[in-house]
Amino acid sequence: MNWSEVLGKLTAGKDLSRPQAREALNDIMSGQATAAQTSAFIISLRTKGETTEEMVGLVETMRAVGVRVSIEEPVVDTAGTGGDRSGTFNISTTAALIAAGAGAKVAKHGNRSASSKCGSADVLEALGVGIELAPERTAEMVKQAGFGFFFAPRYHPAMKHVVPIRQQLGIPTVFNFLGPLTNPAGATRQLIGVYDSRMAERMIGVLARLGTERALVIHADDGLDEVSVSGPTRGYQLWNGEVTPVVLTPEDFGLRRSDVSELVGGDARKNATMLRSVLAGEVGPRRDAAVANAAATLVVAGLADSHEEGSALAARSIDSGGAESVLEQVIALSK
């Protein structure tokens, strides 16, 4: 691996080829790259801006060295890249449980927080979910409960070479984007929120190149890496090989607008309390945000034909106790 050539190109603002990106990450994941080389690669790539070609190469390496799981039925994943620094409660995790309560099979791929107070793994642990399960047990959980959490370190052990550097840097990096693109269960239907609007088009391009069936990659005007209930959410949808731009508003979901400040959470314990309150039927902006994201997930999963229909299914999942039942089953099955 010629690190001088790779870093020279990146620091000069030049793009890597797909094979170069693939080889560079393979060198990092195998532990052959030094910490200095790894850090320089992460920062220079972030500064230049990742291309679709580079990201496809990086994803190919991540998938090649990661642990894969077969669930034998279509699954959907809902995730934000994190890094929007909004401090909201765990909207995508709440939405995933609601979508599961409405009949979706959700294989949620996530991790502890890298740049916020509380990641999906943190809030699930605070809820009493065992997150470090054997892959077969998590796959079985998806089949039985409709939801399973695939804890990233369990499926990407080679990331041990990168985690300390990410933590020391303390800023969003390309790995925020790679996580949602490397679901261990091979989810072919995905809702992905990005913190950087410029990345939405690149990520949908990567998903299209990698054979994803249906996907929605979005960024809200208010900065959230989620479907927003404060204003428009923009992005791209991939439906059977065709990519089209989309703009979603709270009204498309049959919801009222509310300020993003109403969604602010805290640490894992506080966010777990908020999540439980939403599943228990609490009304207000937090419920609306979770319903909107669950609705989008249900559309991507093929269980709803419109976002308004998805909202009705999501609301029914909460009000019938379906979503809460999914959480209780997941807690029990993870013991």
Q: Residue 44 is part of which domain span?
A: 3-65
This prediction's pTM: 0.92
Q: Which of 37, 65, 93 is the last residue of a domain?
A: 65
309 located within any domain:
yes
Same domain, 26 and 145: no
Q: For residue 165, is pLDDT > 70?
A: yes
User: Do 29 and 155 have their domain in common?
Assistant: no
Q: What pLDDT, on a 0 to 100 scale, did the predictor assign at position 271?
A: 97
- pLDDT at 114 (0 to 100): 61
User: What average pLDDT does the structure give for the chain?
Assistant: 95
pLDDT band per the 50, 70, 90 thresholds, residue 84:
low
> Exposed, middle or buried, 280 (CB in 10 Å: 0-12/13-18/19+)?
exposed
| pLDDT score recorded for residue 197 | 87
Position 298 in a domain: yes
pLDDT number for residue 173: 87
Q: Are residues 249 and 297 in the same domain?
A: yes
Domain limit, last residue, from 65, 93, 108? 65
Q: In this predicted model, what pLDDT tens digit does every residue of 292-317 receive, in sequence order? A: 999 999 999 999 999 999 999 999 99
Number of structural domains found in the chain: 2
Residues 38 and 144 in one domain: no
Band of the pLDDT at 326, cuts 50, 70, 90?
A: very high
Q: Are residues 155 and 18 in the same domain?
A: no
For 90-114, write each residue's pLDDT tens digit: 999 999 999 999 999 999 999 887 6
Q: Does the pLDDT of residue 36 top 70, yes or no?
A: yes
| Calpha distance 38→273 (Å, rounded) | 38
Residue 246 scores a pLDDT above 80: yes
Sign of the Cα torsion 66, 69, 75, 77 reads: negative
Whether residue 272 is contained in a domain is answered as yes
Question: Is pLDDT of 332 > 90?
Answer: yes
Reported as a pLDDT band with limits 50, 70 and 90, residue 287 is very high
Specify if 70 maps to a domain: no
Give the CA count within 13 Å in the CB-facing half-sphere of 317. Answer: 32
**Does 128 lie in the same domain as 210?**
yes
CATH number at residue 44: 1.20.970.10
Query: Higher model confidence: residue 98 or residue 171?
Result: 98
- Token reading at 200: 């939405």
Q: What pLDDT, on the 0 to 100 scale, is given for residue 116?
A: 64
Six-digit token string for 216: 């929605």
Q: If you search the block for the tokens 């400040």, which residue do you land on?
A: 261
pLDDT band at 198 (very low <50, low <70, confident <90, very high): confident
Domain boundary among 15, 46, 65: 65
Percent of the chain with pLDDT strictly greater than 90? 87
- Return the pLDDT at 204: 96
Domain match, 127 and 219 both: yes
**Residues 177 and 270 both lie in one domain:** yes
Helix (H, G, I), strand (E, B) or coil at 183: coil
Q: Are residues 101 and 224 in the same domain?
A: yes
Does the pLDDT value for residue 45 go beyond 80?
yes
234: domain CATH number?
Answer: 3.40.1030.10
Residues 314 and 223 in one domain: yes
Task: Evaluate whether residue 61 is within a structural domain.
Answer: yes
pLDDT of 82 strictly over 80: no
Question: Does residue 59 sit in the same domain as residue 83?
Answer: no
pLDDT of residue 115: 57
Q: Tell me if 313 sits within 8 A of 114, measured CB to CB.
A: no
137 and 207 together in one domain: yes
| pLDDT tier at 141, thresholds 50, 70, 90 | very high
Question: Does the residue 155 lie in any domain?
Answer: yes
Do the domain assignments include residue 82? yes
